[in-house]
């Protein structure tokens, strides 16, 4: 196949790599290259990394819908997963996703992998090419996955299940993933994949995306490709050569693992207690093997996404604009020893990796400390492509600060949460080193992240910080008004401010 090159200034090709439920905040082994995130660091070395990137909402469907529309969850209406508690289940039929605007600008737009923003309409209904599934999806059941195995002469994926969060009966050897009758009940697991790593869903998705890249590159058409893998969301299935690469004994106890949550919202304590009631791990030594599998799973998924970068290099598409991020984080073993995320807006669920590479346009190896969200990537890619988007869009194009670290940018960042399977209305504001989380009908949170990055001490009731609290509440109210966040719960929340 011939090598296709496009000038970076001439409607760049775009690749957006997206992982799911990504353990990131406080999980990296200090500054510098990470043994866990080689592909992320490969992109960052050639471009820019954003250490203060936040999930617009630390929950799958709301964040994913915002990463397709560029607007906040309270505006697109998908405020919880799976239509819970009256949340919208699908987009409005006339909703315009970024694919619509790119196609109008002459782009081919691909989408491979997890969707989780609708049970009735999928990517193909919005102009995307590629492969996906309605709802959350379970790729190991699909004909497309079976065909992938046949083409590559791979066996059916099998795992030895070492641990299940609440049901020891679901552990055991030789479990075939295609035969799992209730994949949702198998989700809170970890274990070793006994088949080749290529049988893992992330490698299936990445390889199919790479094949699409080869086909579209041959045409010379400008393209945008989004690759959404299911991992490193649990279950943490890890295959060779990634299995047993992290020694549990080498993982130090998290600073907030043993937090008693006495200064936290009641919703935090209820979540911790519910986890304990269902067989939660109690000691750090019990947690170490599970956390190790989590880290190995992150590395494995990160390596799968690297297949897409390798394909760009092989095709000579080295001037492609590349994004790498996640929909939200993973609270594993943090804040009293919880698992998953519930409705927490802690750093472990809020902070996400974000690296951007655009050779010839972005200085390599740079860092931007600005407050950003993954929602900003929608206006960014439309801006780079010269494609008109819908107005107003809540996200902001990053191109200005990518080119110039001193370019004007937002001082305050609003993020939101409406609950996970149950109502839990929260709004978060970041300003400078300060983080404020307002809880409707519950205890608020205030942290100085420059001094307390693991959120060990809630300062919301500290009399010496009442001025800071009042300023953060004023700023939050201003952000909510600016972005039309004015529903009944939002109005009640603002009435609780000082």
Global pTM value: 0.95
What is the CA angle 17-19-388, rounded to 5? 45
Q: Output the pLDDT for position 279.
A: 67
Range 427-436 average pLDDT: 98
Q: What is the mean pLDDT of the chain?
A: 93
Name, in order, each residue with C-beta under 8 angstroms of 163's C-beta and a sequence gap of 6 or more. Answer: 171, 189, 190, 191, 289, 290, 293
Q: Omega before 241 cis (within 30°)?
A: yes
Report how far apart, in Å, the C-alpha atoms of 470 and of each of 31, 459, 466, 488 are.
34, 12, 6, 22
pLDDT band at 3 (very low <50, low <70, confident <90, very high): very low
Which one, of 471, 453, 431, 460, lies nearest residue 25 by Cα?
453
Mean pLDDT of 46-67: 97
Domain ranges of the chain: 14-421, 422-498
Contact at 8 Å (CB) between 56 and 427?
A: no
pLDDT confidence of residue 390: 76
State whether CATH 3.40.720.10 applies to domain 14-421. yes
SS3 state of residue 174: strand
Quick one: three-class SS letters along 66-112?
Answer: HHHHCCCHHHHCCCCHHHHHHCCCCCCCCCCCHHHHHHHCCCEEEEE
Whether residue 274 is predicted with pLDDT greater than 90 in this model: the reply is no
- Is 304:229 a contact under the CB 8 Å cutoff? yes
Helix, strand or coil for residue 441?
coil
Q: Which pLDDT belongs to residue 29?
A: 54
Q: How many CB atoms sit inside 10 A of residue 147's CB? A: 11
pLDDT grade, residue 260 (50/70/90)?
very high
pLDDT given for residue 170 in this prediction: 86
- 332 has pLDDT over 70: yes
User: DSSP state, 227?
Assistant: E
For the segment 136-159, the average pLDDT, to the nearest whole number, is 97
Q: How far is the C-alpha of 389 from the C-alpha of 386, rounded, in Å? A: 9
Q: Per-residue pLDDT tens for 361-390?
A: 999 999 999 999 999 999 999 999 999 877
Tokens of 279: 């067989």
Closest CA to 386 of 6, 1, 11: 11
Length of the chain: 498
Pairing of strands 14-20, 321-326: parallel
What integer pLDDT is reported at residue 186 of this predicted model?
84
**33 pLDDT above the threshold of 50:** no
Q: Note the pLDDT of residue 175.
A: 92
C-alpha closest to that of 64 among 130, 114, 134, 23: 114
Cα–Cα distances (Å) from 272 to 329, 349, 351, in that order, read 17, 15, 20
Band (pLDDT 50/70/90 cuts) for residue 11 is confident
| pLDDT beyond 90 at 301 | yes
Which tens digits make up the pLDDT trace of 220-244? Answer: 999 999 999 999 999 999 999 999 9
Please count the other Cβ atoms lying within 10 Å of the Cβ belonging to residue 280: 18
Predicted pLDDT at 1: 30
pLDDT at 208 over 50: yes
pLDDT at residue 337 tops 70: yes
- Which of 259, 282, 279 lies closest to 347, judged by CA? 259
If we measure between CA atoms, which residue out of 333, 411, 407, 343 comes closest to residue 372?
411
Q: Which of 130-139, 274-283, 308-317 is predicted with the least confidence, judged by mean pLDDT? A: 274-283
Closest to 440 measured CA to CA, from 475, 468, 476, 408: 476
Q: In angstroms, what CA-CA distances link 86 with 78, 170, 345, 347?
A: 9, 32, 21, 27
DSSP characters for 320-349?
A: -EEEEEES----TT-TTT--S-TT--SHHH
Phi, psi of 319 (to 5 degrees): -100, 15
pLDDT tens by residue, 79-105: 999 999 999 999 988 889 999 999 999
pLDDT at 2: 33
Would you say residue 30 has pLDDT above 70? no
Q: What CATH code is assigned to 422-498? A: 3.30.1120.10
30 — phi, psi (to 5°)? 80, -175
Least confident of 27-36, 38-47, 205-214: 27-36
What pLDDT sits at residue 27?
79
Tell me the pLDDT band of 183, cut-offs 50, 70 and 90. confident
């Amino acid at each position: 196949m011939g090598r296709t090159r496009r000038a970076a200034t001439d409607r760049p090709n775009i690749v957006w790599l997206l992982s799911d439920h990504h353990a990131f905040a406080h999980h990296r082994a200090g500054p510098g290259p990470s043994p866990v995130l080689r592909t992320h660091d490969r992109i960052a070395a050639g471009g820019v990394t954003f250490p203060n990137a936040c999930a617009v909402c630390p929950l799958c469907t709301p964040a994913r819908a915002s990463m397709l529309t560029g607007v906040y969850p309270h505006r697109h209406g998908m405020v919880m997963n799976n239509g819970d508690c009256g949340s919208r289940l699908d987009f409005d039929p006339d909703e315009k996703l970024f694919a619509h605007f790119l196609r109008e600008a002459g782009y081919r737009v691909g989408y491979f992998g997890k969707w989780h923003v609708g049970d009735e309409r999928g990517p193909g209904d919005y102009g995307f090419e590629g492969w996906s599934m309605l709802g959350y999806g379970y790729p190991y059941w699909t004909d497309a996955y079976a065909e992938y195995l046949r083409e590559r002469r791979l066996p059916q994926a099998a795992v030895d299940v070492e641990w299940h969060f609440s049901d020891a009966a679901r552990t055991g050897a030789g479990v075939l993933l295609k035969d799992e009758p209730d994949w949702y009940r198998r989700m809170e697991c970890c274990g070793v994949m006994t088949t080749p790593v290529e049988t893992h869903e992330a490698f299936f998705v990445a390889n199919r995306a790479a094949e699409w890249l080869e086909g579209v590159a041959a045409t010379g058409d400008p393209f945008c490709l989004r690759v959404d893998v299911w991992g490193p969301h649990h279950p943490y299935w890890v295959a060779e050569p990634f299995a047993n690469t992290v020694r549990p004994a080498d993982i130090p106890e998290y600073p907030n693992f043993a937090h008693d949550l006495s200064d936290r919202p009641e919703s935090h304590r209820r979540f911790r207690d519910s986890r304990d009631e269902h067989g939660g791990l109690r000691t750090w030594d019990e947690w170490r093997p599970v956390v190790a599998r989590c880290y190995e799973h992150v590395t494995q998924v990160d390596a799968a996404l690297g297949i897409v970068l390798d394909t760009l290099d092989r095709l000579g598409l080295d001037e492609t604009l590349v994004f790498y991020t996640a929909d939200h984080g993973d609270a594993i073993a943090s804040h009293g020893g919880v698992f998953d995320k519930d409705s927490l807006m802690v750093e472990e669920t809020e902070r996400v990796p974000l690296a951007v590479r655009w050779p010839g346009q972005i200085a390599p190896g740079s860092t931007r400390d600005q407050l950003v969200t993954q929602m900003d990537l929608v206006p960014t890619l439309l801006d780079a492509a010269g494609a008109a988007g819908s107005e107003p869009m809540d996200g902001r194009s990053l191109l200005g600060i990518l080119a110039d670290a001193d370019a004007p940018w937002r001082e305050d960042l609003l993020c939101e949460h409406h609950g996970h399977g149950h109502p839990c209305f929260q709004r978060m504001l970041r300003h400078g080193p300060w983080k404020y989380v307002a809880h409707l009908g519950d205890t608020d949170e205030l942290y100085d992240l420059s001094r307390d990055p693991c959120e060990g001490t809630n300062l919301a009731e500290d009399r010496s910080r009442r001025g800071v609290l009042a300023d953060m509440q004023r700023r939050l109210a201003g952000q909510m008004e600016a972005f039309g966040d004015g529903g009944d719960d939002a109005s009640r929340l603002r009435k609780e401010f000082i």
